[in-house]
């Protein structure tokens, strides 16, 4: 499920992965434009339809559009003298819009005093099955079964969830259209999608919220079940309706199986923000018409995709789809079971370099709150690693020892309701930022990335976006409106006991600003632990070396690497040196758990530093 509201419409062409693939796999990928793909697909069913009617099913991820493809298949059928019939399964089977609203709306928060932007709610767990009208569905099933009789006809059933187990026996050919999260959100923002049960799009933010708590949720579960059971005949990559790519499901499976043998990099998403800086925009050569790049979603599992070179084509594969296919090899069996199949850590850059101000003063909610109020898996933990700083950069974390916290709550309430400035420096502790500073931010920690720095943010399995802005400097957003503040949710969740002395105390369970310590070393290299805390299930480390640094996943834990100092390194397998990926400054690369021994080679002349994140010892016992 995606939860980014406004990604910039830019496709970064650089992070292309090049696994070695067989000629059979390469040749089985059908591209060249949707008309050519539709013609090839139609040819595969027309001849058999002359002997007996063929029932085709077209399912897909939220916002996919089958219209053009089906129109082209229909044209090919007419040319061949075969009748074509299409059936919208959602219209034929789903409950009425009013009935669906009555199921979903009570799960959403409508009180703007609690949730000013109507962002939050509780996840709908009923799947597509829960949306079916039983009387209508039985008629649909009877109709499709009757269409199996006879010959000379192609019947295309399309719609979200048309491949759920209940319907699967109805079809002769099963197809799935997949798209990337960024494309899905951009389609919503472009007015191309109405929520399930709706005839027309609602306000953008309301469409996205309902997608998150219903449409995306059930689409993810449906796709996971289909992938795990190999219940698909043809797999389609459908980000561009005019340039759909088709392949047999076994071909897609092989591409994923080969990719997971390599270190790989995801395709980032870039987002503007009022506090955004200029560093990443310049470094990544982003479009001039971007105001800034406040957030760089380099490796947020629910938001990114993976570019894979297959012959002459570059395929853009939803990362979550890849995780569903290769979760055990990518993460290990223990990890898959612990985190319900999700990739458990997320990575992004926060850029406030030469910006107009700090990120908002904020906190996140913990396990019990997220489970009770949102139906989520658990807590939202984060961490900051400072990569780049300018003058007077600060990282805000915890309260000052002398903070009058009740007074702080009154001041931020006055800021929200009366637009009075809050002297937040009286209340919130800060660290002087310099490259290499690592802080941990367990759920509830008040924090902010200050102006004039680039932060590598590393967080827990965060499916949603439970960020409670407690103070935002009376700032207006790009739309000219006051940015919303979540004082009530912030007060309920902020950890008041995490003060400056507590977070620096090695004897405290809230020791979250730690001194680095050496975990391992060898000739010309050392591995430092920058931060570990029992509240976080991941370990934050750094590899400092001159020429190369040996590493080993032991087949148990994936590693995620960020080149935080240095120009160019190569990450390569020891057993298969050809399985490698070259990283540039601030690139983020994932090393699959199944890789085993690997080496990071410095391809430059200066010493380098590589930030490394992995699941820590005992992560299996951590309460999410």
Average pLDDT over residues 560-579: 99
Instruction: Indicate the domain borders of the chain.
Output: 20-259, 269-314+330-503, 517-621
All residues at 6 or more sequence positions from 323 whose CB lies less than 8 Å from its CB, including other chains: 301, 330, 331, 341, 342, 343
Q: CA torsion angle for 422, 425, 428, 432 (degrees, to 10)?
A: 150
| Spatial distance between the Cα atoms of 577 and 430, rounded to a whole number of angstroms | 44
| Per-residue pLDDT at 543 | 99
CATH number of 269-314+330-503: 2.60.120.10
Residue 179 φ/ψ, nearest 5 degrees: -140, 170
- Tell me whether the CATH fold assigned to 20-259 matches the one assigned to 517-621: no
Does residue 115 sit in helix, strand or coil? coil
Work out the pLDDT band at 4, boundaries 50, 70, 90. confident
Average pLDDT over residues 299-320: 98
pLDDT tens-digit readout, 222-247:
999 999 999 999 999 999 999 999 99
| Concatenated DSSP letters of 404-415 | -HHHHHHHHHHH
DSSP letter at 256 equals H
| Per-residue pLDDT at 616 | 98
- CATH, domain 517-621, list 3.90.1150.140, 2.60.120.10, 3.40.50.720, 2.60.40.1120: 2.60.120.10
- Architecture of the CATH domain 20-259: 3-Layer(aba) Sandwich (3.40)
Residue 17: CB atoms within 10 A of its CB come to 21
Average pLDDT over residues 532-555: 98
pLDDT tens-digit readout, 151-178:
999 999 999 999 999 999 999 999 999 9
pLDDT tens-digit readout, 416-464:
999 999 999 999 999 999 999 999 999 999 999 999 999 999 999 876 7
């Amino acid at each position: 499920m995606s939860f980014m509201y406004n990604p910039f419409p830019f496709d970064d062409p650089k992070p292309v992965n090049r696994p070695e693939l067989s000629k059979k796999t390469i040749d089985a990928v059908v591209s060249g434009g949707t008309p050519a793909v539709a013609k090839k697909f139609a040819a595969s069913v027309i001849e058999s339809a002359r002997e007996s009617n063929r029932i085709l099913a077209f399912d897909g991820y939220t916002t996919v559009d089958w219209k053009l493809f089906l129109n082209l298949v229909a044209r090919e059928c007419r040319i061949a003298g075969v009748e074509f019939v299409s059936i919208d399964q959602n219209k034929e089977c789903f409950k009425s819009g009013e009935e669906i609203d009555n199921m979903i709306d009570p799960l959403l928060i409508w009180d703007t005093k609690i949730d000013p932007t109507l962002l939050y709610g509780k996840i709908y767990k009923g799947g597509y099955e829960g949306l079916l009208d039983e009387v209508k569905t039985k008629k649909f099933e009877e109709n499709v079964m009757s269409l199996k009789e006879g010959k000379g006809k192609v019947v295309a059933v399309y719609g979200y969830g048309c491949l759920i187990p209940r319907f699967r026996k109805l079809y002769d050919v099963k197809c799935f259209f997949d798209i990337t999260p960024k494309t899905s959100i951009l389609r919503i923002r472009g007015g191309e999608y109405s929520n399930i049960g709706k005839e027309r799009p609602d306000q953008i933010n309301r469409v996205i919220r309902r997608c998150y708590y219903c449409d995306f949720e059930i689409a993810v579960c449906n796709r996971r079940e289909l992938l795990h059971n190999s219940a698909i005949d043809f797999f389609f990559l459908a980000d561009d309706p005019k340039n759909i790519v088709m392949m047999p499901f076994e071909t897609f499976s092989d591409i994923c199986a080969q990719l997971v043998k390599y270190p790989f990099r995801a395709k980032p998403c870039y987002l503007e923000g009022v506090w955004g800086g200029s560093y990443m925009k310049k470094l990544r050569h982003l479009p001039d018409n971007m105001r800034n790049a406040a957030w760089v979603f380099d490796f947020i599992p629910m938001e990114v995709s993976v570019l894979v070179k297959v012959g002459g084509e570059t395929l853009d594969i939803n990362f979550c789809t890849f995780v569903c296919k290769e979760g055990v090899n990518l993460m290990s069996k223990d990890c898959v079971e612990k985190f319900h199949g999700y990739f458990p850590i997320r990575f992004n850059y926060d850029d406030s370099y030469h910006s107009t101000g700090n990120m908002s003063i904020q906190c996140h909610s913990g396990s019990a709150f997220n489970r009770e109020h949102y139906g989520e898996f658990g807590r939202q933990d984060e961490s900051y690693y400072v990569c780049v700083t300018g003058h007077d950069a600060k990282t805000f974390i915890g309260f000052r020892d002398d903070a009058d916290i009740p007074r702080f709550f009154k001041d931020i309430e006055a800021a929200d309701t009366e637009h009075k400035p809050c002297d937040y420096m009286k209340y919130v502790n800060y660290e002087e930022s310099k490259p290499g500073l690592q802080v941990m931010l367990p759920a509830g920690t008040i924090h902010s990335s200050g102006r004039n720095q680039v932060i590598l943010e590393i967080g827990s399995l965060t499916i949603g976006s439970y960020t409670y802005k407690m103070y935002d400097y009376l700032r207006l957003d790009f739309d000219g409106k006051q940015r919303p503040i979540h004082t009530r949710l912030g007060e309920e969740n902020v950890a008041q006991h995490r003060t400056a002395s507590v977070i620096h105390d090695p004897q405290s369970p809230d020791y979250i600003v730690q001194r680095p310590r050496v975990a391992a070393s060898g000739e010309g290299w050392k591995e430092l632990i920058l931060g570990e805390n029992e509240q976080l299930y991941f370990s934050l480390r750094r590899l400092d070396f001159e020429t190369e640094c040996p590493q080993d996943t032991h087949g148990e834990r994936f590693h995620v690497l960020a080149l935080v100092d240095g120009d160019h390194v190569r990450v390569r397998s020891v057993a298969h040196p050809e399985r490698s990926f070259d990283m540039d400054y601030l690139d983020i690369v994932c090393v699959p758990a199944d890789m085993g021994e690997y080496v990071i080679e410095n391809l430059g002349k200066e010493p380098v530093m590589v930030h490394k994140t992995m699941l820590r010892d005992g992560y299996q016992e951590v309460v999410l």
